[in-house]
Amino acid sequence: MHTLSQLRSGELSGIRHLTLSENLTSFPLDILSLADSLEILDLSNNQLTSLPKEIIKLHNLKIFFASNNHFETVPEALGQCINLEMVGFKSNKINHVPENSLPPKLRWLILTDNQISALPDSLGERPRLQKLALAGNRLTHLPQTLAQSKNLELVRISANQLVECPEQLLSLPKLAWFAFSGNPFSQSDADIRSVPEMPSSSFTLQKVLGQGASGVISKAHWNQPQALFPDDIAVKVFKGEVTSDGYPKDELQACLKVGQHANLVTSLAQVNENGYLALIMSLIPAHYNNLGLPPCFQSCTRDTFPPDFTLSIEKIEKIVTQMEAVFTHLHANQVCHGDLYAHNALFDDEANLIVGDFGAATMYHMLNQKQQAQIKQIEHRALHHFIDDLLSICTEEDKLSTKFMLLKQQITH
């Protein structure tokens, strides 16, 4: 985090990444003094409503964030920023996206949690577009031009008003991660109660274990001994009404529809009280660790890994076999995970795998047979990327092995 006083004093001269959050109501023109160096500009958590046309002077700008402001329109000046690749306006008041507001090199667009009912045709005319986050808006349709988005890999359209399945997305050659719950076309009457309901007073939350877009997972203990459940539990308490992946209630229903599997986090019970929605799960043993790290700005849609982290081909093969079993189980239950990544999986020293995070999961039993097959094919690409990412961290001595070659062949055909 930086300050205006630092900027105005010249202390930030030559900086590449600037973050300012000081309840700004107007764009500080002092930022233009960084034109020769600035690549990432984060003006989130302010009170901005507009940007000056002079922002185009930031000729090296690649990433612009303005989450949690008061924009009602995506500023047209951004469309003239020739090197801008990533634009984020999460949780504003945007209801209008002008045709010429999208920069020509756009790769990643975040418009989650706004008031947008329509998008311009120009969205499908940005050939480098890879990642599109539109959950929590008022969209009734998507531009037909998105059928041209041959590089689009990840799409979030949950929690909108789409009345028809967007066919223009289903045939895209690279789409691999797709979340679409909470729309009229994906409406489900299912009220799955595969696990019992418990009151929130039955447990006490302890240490926070992790958190994502949809909720916070904590270790917990029962307040009274439970005959039916293990002593060690974790509880995911869901956040507000809409997240970057959709509605929490849809995540919960998809998770329950999937049911039990040896390589999935075990659901034990649910809490469904006014203002308190939670999932009680078996506690994952402490010796399990994250298999991967989330994508970075540069990788955009692909997982990253810690430096020097490697796996033997035997462990990779075992992990892949388990993930393939998870994939088969998911789609046998007509559920698309939507976020099939190494960073959403845990593993131990014996390469035992546990997959979690159903934030982007979508039930798809309401779609026609052709659409269902396309959804499965989309997630199959994610499975192939998962395998490819693991092969990228294979130990050097194993990269000439037969097992390595067979796995590589599996994802290139």
Task: Tell me the pLDDT tens digit for each residue of 46-94.
Answer: 999 999 999 999 999 999 999 999 999 999 999 999 999 999 999 999 9
Element containing residue 218 per DSSP (H, E): strand 215-222
Looking at the structure of the chain, the number of domains it has is 3
309-363 residue pLDDT tens: 999 999 999 999 999 999 999 999 999 999 999 999 999 999 999 998 888 999 9
pLDDT confidence tier of residue 378, bands split at 50, 70 and 90:
very high
Whether 164 and 142 have beta carbons less than 8 Å apart is answered as no
% of the chain surpassing 70 pLDDT: 100
Binding residues for ATP: 236
CA 205/CA 299 separation, integer angstroms: 36
Is 192 inside a domain boundary? no
Residues 353 and 269 in one domain: no
Both 269 and 294 in one domain: the answer is: no
User: Are 40 and 175 in a shared domain?
Assistant: yes
Residue 148 · residue 171 · CB < 8 Å: no
d(CA 216, CA 274): 18
Beta bridge mates, 290 = 346
Residue 191 placed within a domain: no
- Residue given tokens 């000046």 in the structure block: 77
Binned at pLDDT 50, 70 and 90, residue 113 comes out as very high
- Both 312 and 259 in one domain: the answer is no
Give domain status of residue 146, yes or no: yes
CA atoms within 13 A on the CB side of 61: 29
What is the per-residue pLDDT for 318? 98
Q: Stretch 262-278: mean pLDDT, rounded?
A: 92
Same domain, 56 and 92: yes
DSSP string for residues in 252-275: HHHHHHH---TTBPPEEEEEEETT
308, β-bridge pairs? none
**Which residues line the annotated binding site?**
236
pLDDT in tens, 118-134: 999 999 999 999 999 99
Do 131 and 24 share a structural domain? yes
What pLDDT does residue 192 have?
75
- Domain presence at residue 194: no
Please tell me whether residues 330 and 354 are part of one structural domain: yes
Contacts for 42 with CB less than 8 Å, ≥ 6 apart: 17, 18, 19, 20, 63, 65
Domain residue limits at 13: 4-186
Mean pLDDT rounded to a whole number for the chain? 95
| Reported pTM | 0.94
Distance CA 77, CA 59 (A): 12
